[in-house]
Chain A
Amino acid sequence: MRNFSISISFLIAIFLNMSLDFCDCSLNAQQAKTAPTSSAKIDFENDVIPVLTKVGCNAGKCHGAAIGRGGFKLSLFGGNPQSDFEAIVRQQKGRRVNLSKPESSLLILKPTEQMEHGGGSVLDLDEENTQILLDWIEQGTPQKTERTLIRVQIDPARTILDSVGQTVPLKATAFFSDETEKEVTRRTVFTAEDPASVQIISGDDENGPVAKVLRRGRHIVIARYLTEVIPIELVTPMTSIANVNAREQKTNFIDEEVLATLSKLKIPASGQTSNGNLLRRLTLDLTGRLPSTKQLKNSQSTSREEWIDELIGSEAFNQYWTYQFAKLFRVQADPKRHGPGGAKVYHRWISEQLRKKVGYDQIARQLLLAQGNTQKTGPANFSNTGKGARLQTEFVTELFMGARLKCANCHNHPLDRWTQDDYHGLAAIFAKVEQGPIVGVKKNGIVIHPVTLESATPQLPGQLISISDPMELSPGDFAAWLTDQNNPYFAKAIVNRLWKFTMGRGLVEPVDDFRSTNPASHPELLDLLAKDFVQNGYQIEHTLKTIAMSSAYSRSSRPKVDNKNDAMFYSHAIRRPLSAEVLSDAFSDMLGIPEKYGRQPVGTRAIQLVNSKEPSRTLDILGRCDRDESCEVPNGSSSIQGGLTEKLHLFNGGLLNRRLQNPEGRLNKLIRSGRTPLQIVEAFYQYGLSRPLSAKERAFWKKEFPVESATDAAPNSQPISTAQREKLEDFVWGLLSSDQFQSNH
């Protein structure tokens, strides 16, 4: 399978685009006439490399490419100063620098295009950047760095602008290990995530660069200095409504945060949804089912909190969340993955953990550390998800940290902190796990680091704790680090997923792409949710309930004029299509006859299937996830479901027709029970949409199904006419094919 998530391609594309921009970036001569002629000591790492980055020499399209360009290779965006120094000073027998005649160095002649240069002219002789290179060569190309960069601060980090067209000056300050600081604005590369929303106007001698906002909304500008990448948030309110949402109800901290953001953007919130629809929304979100008749009836006399508690305590909750986690963990009966036997015990194990309310931290530790026969020990199958230590590293970090380390396999991640050392260091830890039918310890397992071509030194991501003997680092150390309550990734990654399951969009979106340059829409809310999750024993039920209790959750999906274009700030509920499995189960429940999946016993629900590839044309057409790869679909683009193929099948396939015509189906049973067609219509609205007919709807259906007086007078006395039955079939078909039925709203 070659289906990388498209979002990965976005990421790489960002990096490619940036590279392009850099390459095209040629500074013009008027910009820097007052270049210093002699100067302070030039520092290779802190002065020279930023010049190379600024003018684009080390971009992916130029010398930063994996194989370099024209025989000259630099590390991508200066990620490896040591190798860059070697390349510039030592390689080519030192011809790239000429100590006695600095201006005759290739490092000067090429970028100023005094000699033929594939990348064209990127530097002018009389600009400051060139002077830095000249001074450095003049000073004897010193490598020693006096100070290391601690952090870069961008001012402003976040700001609100009143109107479109306004500009903000951008300033970057570097802070060093020797407690000095330096303004590095001109060495910092600023890139708008979307150039159509924010224009970066590069500065000149007098004025620094500014960002000009071109559209309303929330926009991100990325600043890069050396290896630091920092996002800047620019917000221009959407309306000019004063005191927006002042009277909105706040149930818990979620509402505080959501409303604060809406107020900042001046977006009004929609009202609360009806009780019936809220029950439908909750039941679908928590159990993957439509509310039963009994649930609908009981809901009249119980509180929202009682509904939620009852749903969370139900067997249906266990089934549904076993399915959700089986998707996340990519449980697959394919012999290339877990095999039918392994998948079965694995699936059962997940269900048990949920039933016993085992904390998610403990679940993660068990998965990472389980050993033994995968046909018997469910969690041992986890170690067989990615074939080889590298793919397992990518899977584990994506699952538990929401991070995509994939890029860091071949080069340091261009948009995040992840380096090749992080990637291969963690892979070296997973190399100590013996994959296969019996998962165990592989004491001598190694991975080769592509740069050193030697076995990689085990390392925890980001090297956040130092240890005396890295070679001894084990999966146990990783598990302990990952599930430590201060780990910055673990809790956020899962609460963000739970948020998306219930609210329709991750606070970080895509949910598996946490990085500093992809900030959360509500960073404080994400922190609070994670903290609350940790404090409450990593209980997914707790977080689900917290979200379900909030007023933000129960908001109507009906937009207002002033919030209809909001797709990420939760001013109204987001309509979500039901997943293939949930929809297929809902069809079965509505029709009163279960769909049969492969060779599974009749009555097996789609969400209970252990095998994600159980033969089923229905699930194929409805667009299930086969779990070969992550099941995340990129935000905004709908999954494969829908389309002409599905509609043709709904019309003429057996999926709905076969069961609609079945005498034992719900429709025919209701007909036989002697109800009038209108009563049957009413009953189906209750089952399917959890609400009674509106007056207009009643009038419409009454016209379609005029009450037959005979039936009216004496139920059961007369069978319904064929024409009426067919029309009822057509009504049920229409309901099941409607967007209103097929989505959670």
Chain B
Amino acid sequence: MTLPTSNRCDGLTRRDSIQLGALSALGLNIGSFLPLQNASAMASPNAIAPKAKSCILIWLDGGPTHLDTFDPKPDAPVEIRGPLSSIKTNVTDIRLNECFTQTAKLMDKVAIVRSMTSPLGEHNFGTHYMMTGYKPSPAIEYPAFGSTIAQVRKSKTILPSNVAIPKFTGNISGNGFLPTMTRPFSVGGNPATGDFRVRDLEFYRGLNLDRLNRRREFVNAIDQFSRDQDQSAAAIMHPELERAYNLIASPKAKKSFDLSEEKSKTRQRYGSGNNIGQSCLLARRLVERGVPFVTVTSTGWDSHQNIANLKSRFGNDRNAHLPSLDRAFSALIEDLDERKMLDETLVVVMGEFGRTPKVNASGGRDHWPNVFSVALCGAGIQGGQVIGSSDKLGEFPHRDPVTPADLSATIYTLLGIDPALDLATPDGRSVRVAPDNAKLIRQLI
């Protein structure tokens, strides 16, 4: 990106601005003219050849318990171990929660980081740190993975680059300082219902594509004439409107959201009593059609009460959170594998933090960011391994602590984005995709 220095009232060169960074939130907004799209890649020489074309993030909103998912402590006292037991997997020495019967058979494809650690035990802060790699800052809100990818990758499809199913977490905006265009598009509704569809994709009665086209032209004309200083540019002034139009105009793109095209056997395999299953299936359809980032949001992991509810809430409950996650995650791995897409798709399972090792008086666990787990697979990463470990009681990292910043640098690297790449904020500051001090998790790559 070259920058006409004459445009800058502070007379700084681009290089200066990189070195100096930026301007206070309290200062003037200098340099809002900086073109944001396609920040130039200044790849570091030791960049790793990326494998993943896309990423599915299974976001367990609320903060999933690490002890009752990917880091069971079968030998700990019962008040730590909790009411659920653990099972063997197809990899020696790696145990998982008893509900993960399907995932256990695929453990050789999955890597678990058991030494995630963060100081932020509040939902919004934890979400910000995990989804952006940055701790919340007084000056700027950082973009989440999907928004960064939507920003730096040239989209090959008219589908939105950053999709959330059924919607994005309410804890952060997602796009941070990047344009609202990069914010996740929430499909809405509940993919698990039979009549699920994305709203407003079909023409309103009496309308057709020609009229929609004319409408968007009229909007542009009205705004351009009104703000006549901008007239010179024939630029698209309403990128969101363009995107909506393009999506409506493509029957093929719209079909991507149609789960009824899937075989009923496939739909059953993912599970449908809990919307995480069909959400994962929809995510697979979308990455298959070129969407680079999909977030599947599963709510209800803030288990302050009765942790056993994650296994079953009533007699014969098959659709509690843990078994549903097991079905969805394992189905997704197998499905991607069968379609030869696993190597080019990164699947990440995580939430904003872990939960207190000691079960509380209500039989639940409270927020615990000091140590927790993240599961990853696909994108050519080495499965069947555990990275780092927590201590005996699952309280603190025991070996090889990994910060959310490290994880973010790793995820970006796996997706072929250099963590050192610079993004520009609207006020002209340069911000690295992942923090400066972030270390790659080498064992994963």
Asked whether A644 is an interface residue with its Cβ less than 8 Å from the other chain, the reply is yes
A423 to chain B, nearest CB (A): 18
Q: Which chain B positions have C-beta within 8 A of A16? A: 119-120, 135-136
Please measure, in the bound complex, the distance between the C-alpha atom of A340 and the C-alpha atom of B186, giving whole angstroms.
Answer: 31
Chain A residues bordering chain B, tally (CB within 8 A): 76
Q: Which chain B positions have C-beta within 8 A of A642? A: 180, 240
Taking A642-B240, A643-B183 as contacts, is the C-beta distance between A733 and B218 under 8 angstroms?
Answer: yes
* A197 with B138: CB separation less than 8 A: no
Please measure, in the bound complex, the distance between the C-alpha atom of A651 and the C-alpha atom of B202, giving whole angstroms.
Answer: 9
Asked whether A181 is an interface residue with its Cβ less than 8 Å from the other chain, the reply is no
Within 8 A of A (CB), among B161-215: 170-173, 180, 183, 185-186, 188, 199-204, 206-207, 211-212, 214-215
Asked whether B227 is an interface residue with its Cβ less than 8 Å from the other chain, the reply is yes
* B23 with A2: CB separation less than 8 A: no
Q: Which chain B positions have C-beta within 8 A of A215? A: 10, 12, 20, 22-24, 27, 30
A411 to chain B, nearest CB (A): 14
Please measure, in the bound complex, the distance between the C-alpha atom of A95 and the C-alpha atom of B171, giving whole angstroms.
Answer: 45
Residues on A facing B (Cβ under 8 Å): 2-4, 6, 9-14, 16-17, 61, 164, 192-198, 214-220, 238-239, 265, 521, 558, 562, 564-569, 634, 636-638, 642-654, 657, 661, 689, 694, 696-697, 700, 726-727, 730-731, 733-735, 737-741
B257 to chain A, nearest CB (A): 12
* B429 with A196: CB separation less than 8 A: yes
List 23 contacting pairs A-B, 8 Å CB cutoff, sorted by A. A2-B171, A3-B124, A16-B119, A193-B25, A194-B138, A195-B21, A196-B429, A197-B27, A215-B22, A220-B24, A565-B28, A566-B29, A568-B28, A634-B141, A636-B25, A637-B173, A644-B244, A644-B247, A645-B188, A648-B247, A651-B248, A734-B217, A738-B226
Asked whether B243 is an interface residue with its Cβ less than 8 Å from the other chain, the reply is yes
- Please name the residue on chain A nearest to B426 by beta carbon: A636
* B138 with A17: CB separation less than 8 A: yes
* B27 with A218: CB separation less than 8 A: yes
Partner of B243, one of A644, A661, A694: A644
* B27 with A217: CB separation less than 8 A: yes
> Can you list, as one digit per residue, whether each of B241-276 has a CB less than 8 Å from chain A (1) or not (0)?
101110110000000000000000000000000000
Partner of B186, one of A10, A220, A645: A645
Q: Which chain A positions have C-beta within 8 A of B27? A: 194, 197, 215-219
Please measure, in the bound complex, the distance between the C-alpha atom of A220 and the C-alpha atom of B25, giving whole angstroms.
Answer: 10
Partner of B180, one of A197, A638, A727: A638
Taking A17-B135, A193-B25, A217-B28 as contacts, is the C-beta distance between A652 and B207 under 8 angstroms?
Answer: yes
A657 to chain B, nearest CB (A): 4
Taking A3-B171, A734-B215, A737-B241 as contacts, is the C-beta distance between A567 and B136 under 8 angstroms?
Answer: no
Residues on B facing A (Cβ under 8 Å): 9-12, 20-32, 119-120, 122-125, 128, 135-139, 141, 160, 170-173, 180, 183, 185-186, 188, 199-204, 206-207, 211-212, 214-219, 221-223, 225-229, 237-238, 240-241, 243-245, 247-248, 427, 429
Q: Which chain B positions have C-beta within 8 A of A567? A: 28-29
Contacts between the two chains (Cβ within 8 Å), count: 223
B236 to chain A, nearest CB (A): 13
Q: Which chain B positions have C-beta within 8 A of A737? A: 215, 219, 241
Q: Which chain A positions have C-beta within 8 A of B141? A: 6, 634, 637
Q: Which chain B positions have C-beta within 8 A of A653? A: 199-200, 204
* With A6-B172, A565-B28 already in contact, 10 other A-B pairs whose C-beta atoms are closer than 8 Å: A9-B128, A216-B28, A565-B31, A638-B180, A643-B180, A644-B240, A651-B248, A653-B200, A734-B218, A738-B223
- Please name the residue on chain B nearest to A267 by beta carbon: B28
Taking A196-B23, A647-B240 as contacts, is the C-beta distance between A740 and B227 under 8 angstroms?
Answer: yes
Please measure, in the bound complex, the distance between the C-alpha atom of A195 and the C-alpha atom of B137, giving whole angstroms.
Answer: 12
Please measure, in the bound complex, the distance between the C-alpha atom of A3 and the C-alpha atom of B183, giving whole angstroms.
Answer: 18
- Please name the residue on chain B nearest to A193 by beta carbon: B24
* A238 with B200: CB separation less than 8 A: no
A125 to chain B, nearest CB (A): 29
A-B interface, 10 closest residue pairs, ranked by CB to CB distance from nearest = A734-B218, A196-B21, A217-B27, A194-B24, A647-B244, A13-B136, A648-B200, A217-B28, A196-B22, A740-B226
- Please name the residue on chain A nearest to B185 by beta carbon: A644
- Please name the residue on chain A nearest to B240 by beta carbon: A647
- Please name the residue on chain A nearest to B32 by beta carbon: A565
Q: Which chain B positions have C-beta within 8 A of A733? A: 215, 218
- Please name the residue on chain B nearest to A14 by beta carbon: B138
* A194 with B25: CB separation less than 8 A: yes
* B200 with A649: CB separation less than 8 A: yes
Q: Which chain B positions have C-beta within 8 A of A730? A: 211, 214-215, 218
Q: Which chain A positions have C-beta within 8 A of B128? A: 9
* B123 with A9: CB separation less than 8 A: no
Please measure, in the bound complex, the distance between the C-alpha atom of A195 and the C-alpha atom of B20, giving whole angstroms.
Answer: 9
* B200 with A218: CB separation less than 8 A: no
Q: Which chain B positions have C-beta within 8 A of A197? A: 22-24, 27
Please measure, in the bound complex, the distance between the C-alpha atom of A645 and the C-alpha atom of B22, giving whole angstroms.
Answer: 33
Q: Which chain A positions have C-beta within 8 A of B173? A: 6, 637
Please measure, in the bound complex, the distance between the C-alpha atom of A507 and the C-alpha atom of B86, giving whole angstroms.
Answer: 57
Please measure, in the bound complex, the distance between the C-alpha atom of A642 and the C-alpha atom of B180, giving whole angstroms.
Answer: 8
A518 to chain B, nearest CB (A): 8
Please measure, in the bound complex, the distance between the C-alpha atom of A650 and the C-alpha atom of B139, giving whole angstroms.
Answer: 34
Partner of B223, one of A218, A565, A636, A740: A740
* B200 with A643: CB separation less than 8 A: no
Interface centre among B12, B160, B204 (most CB of A within 10 A): B204
Q: Which chain B positions have C-beta within 8 A of A647? A: 240-241, 243-244
Q: Which chain A positions have C-beta within 8 A of B243? A: 644, 647
Taking A217-B30, A218-B26 as contacts, is the C-beta distance between A652 and B202 under 8 angstroms?
Answer: yes
* A238 with B221: CB separation less than 8 A: no
Please measure, in the bound complex, the distance between the C-alpha atom of A615 and the C-alpha atom of B99, giving whole angstroms.
Answer: 39
* B221 with A700: CB separation less than 8 A: yes
* B28 with A648: CB separation less than 8 A: no
Interface centre among A10, A567, A731, A738 (most CB of B within 10 A): A738
Interface centre among B222, B226, B228 (most CB of A within 10 A): B222
Q: Which chain A positions have C-beta within 8 A of B123? A: 2
Q: Which chain B positions have C-beta within 8 A of A195? A: 21
Please measure, in the bound complex, the distance between the C-alpha atom of A3 and the C-alpha atom of B173, giving whole angstroms.
Answer: 11
Q: Which chain A positions have C-beta within 8 A of B139? A: 193-194, 196
* A12 with B125: CB separation less than 8 A: yes
* B26 with A194: CB separation less than 8 A: yes
Q: Which chain B positions have C-beta within 8 A of A218? A: 24, 26-28
Q: Which chain A positions have C-beta within 8 A of B245? A: 651
* B24 with A17: CB separation less than 8 A: no
Please measure, in the bound complex, the distance between the C-alpha atom of A185 and the C-alpha atom of B216, giving whole angstroms.
Answer: 61
- Please name the residue on chain B nearest to A648 by beta carbon: B200
Please measure, in the bound complex, the distance between the C-alpha atom of A727 and the C-alpha atom of B218, giving whole angstroms.
Answer: 10
Please measure, in the bound complex, the distance between the C-alpha atom of A17 and the C-alpha atom of B119, giving whole angstroms.
Answer: 11
* A652 with B135: CB separation less than 8 A: no
* A238 with B28: CB separation less than 8 A: yes
Please measure, in the bound complex, the distance between the C-alpha atom of A9 and the C-alpha atom of B173, giving whole angstroms.
Answer: 13
Please measure, in the bound complex, the distance between the C-alpha atom of A16 and the C-alpha atom of B247, giving whole angstroms.
Answer: 43
Q: Which chain A positions have C-beta within 8 A of B225? A: 694, 696-697, 700
A204 to chain B, nearest CB (A): 24
Please measure, in the bound complex, the distance between the C-alpha atom of A6 and the C-alpha atom of B123, giving whole angstroms.
Answer: 11
Q: Which chain A positions have C-beta within 8 A of B202? A: 652
Q: Which chain A positions have C-beta within 8 A of B10? A: 164, 215-216, 238
Q: Which chain A positions have C-beta within 8 A of B124? A: 2-4, 6, 9
Please measure, in the bound complex, the distance between the C-alpha atom of A239 and the C-alpha atom of B30, giving whole angstroms.
Answer: 12
* A735 with B207: CB separation less than 8 A: no
- Please name the residue on chain A nearest to B127 by beta carbon: A2
* B30 with A216: CB separation less than 8 A: yes
Q: Which chain B positions have C-beta within 8 A of A694? A: 225, 228
Q: Which chain B positions have C-beta within 8 A of A14? A: 138
- Please name the residue on chain B nearest to A656 by beta carbon: B204
A389 to chain B, nearest CB (A): 22
Partner of B211, one of A566, A726, A735: A726
Please measure, in the bound complex, the distance between the C-alpha atom of A740 and the C-alpha atom of B228, giving whole angstroms.
Answer: 12
Please measure, in the bound complex, the distance between the C-alpha atom of A4 and the C-alpha atom of B120, giving whole angstroms.
Answer: 14
A703 to chain B, nearest CB (A): 11
